[in-house]
């Protein structure tokens, strides 16, 4: 039997993703167990545990038929994917932040150049260029908050949920680029070739959203 493959994000979205799938009758609970396994099988489904930023890549290239990813990640990757559902959980925002005592506070009217550290270079570049500002972007993969504190950048663009991490590092949020929630994404070829299996999954997840 040909299995339907889901790419699920490790980390903060995994538990809510699994709970949501369970409501739609898809048992992915084994992915929550303490193990080094990355591939899990349950009935007609296969689940891949991957880094959140990699979920759209697995889905786009067809290694997974469906995936759950934050809107921030989907926008950053920029792949042509079918995105039928906003699952509504994992709410956060992608924001610009700067040191509290910065000499020239953030002002889009006055900025012509900005040096920004971020894990989201594509979104950051597009956003500032749309405002007529030419950014120098420094791509980091962890502890972005450190960059302005040691002079690596003037500001950062990073995910914010409560703002606590920013405040603890002497930073303040000054601009919101986008609001993000978890989304269902689908490989376009899978939607056509496995329509009889994929469409009922989408419908089941849609019902789970409406019942919340």
Instruction: Report pLDDT digits (tens) over 13-22.
Output: 999 999 999 9
Indicate if 168 and 203 belong to the same structural domain. Answer: no
21: containing domain: 4-90+181-210
Q: What residues in the chain have per-residue pLDDT under 70?
A: 1
At residue 212, the pLDDT reads 74
- Number of domains observed in the structure of the chain: 2
Closest residue by Cα to residue 9 from 60, 63, 73, 102: 73
Indicate if 203 and 144 belong to the same structural domain. Answer: no
Residue 164's H or E segment, with its range, is helix 164-168
At residue 1, the pLDDT reads 67
Indicate if 202 and 191 belong to the same structural domain. Answer: yes
- What distance in Å separates the CA atoms of residue 53 and residue 77, rounded to the nearest whole number? 8
Instruction: Report pLDDT digits (tens) over 33-79.
Output: 888 899 999 989 999 999 999 999 999 999 999 999 999 999 999 99
């Amino acid at each position: 039997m040909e299995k339907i493959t889901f790419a699920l994000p490790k980390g903060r979205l995994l538990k809510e993703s699994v709970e949501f799938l369970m409501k739609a009758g898809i048992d992915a609970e084994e992915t929550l167990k303490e193990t080094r396994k990355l591939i899990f099988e349950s009935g007609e489904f296969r689940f891949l545990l991957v880094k959140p930023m990699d979920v759209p890549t697995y889905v786009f290239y067809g290694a997974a038929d469906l995936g759950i990813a934050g809107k921030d990640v989907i926008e950053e990757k920029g792949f042509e994917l079918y995105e039928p559902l906003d699952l509504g959980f994992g709410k956060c925002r992608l924001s610009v932040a700067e040191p509290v005592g910065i000499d020239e506070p953030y002002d889009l009217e006055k900025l012509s150049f900005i040096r920004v550290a971020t894990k989201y270079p594509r979104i950051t570049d597009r956003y500032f260029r749309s405002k007529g500002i030419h950014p120098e972007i420094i791509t980091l993969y962890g502890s972005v908050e450190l960059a302005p504190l040691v002079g690596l950048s003037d500001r950062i663009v990073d995910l914010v949920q409560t703002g606590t991490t920013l405040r603890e590092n002497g930073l303040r949020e000054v601009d919101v680029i986008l609001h993000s929630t978890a989304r269902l994404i689908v490989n376009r070829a899978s939607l056509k070739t496995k329509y009889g299996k994929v469409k009922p999954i989408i419908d089941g997840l849609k019902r789970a959203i409406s019942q919340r």
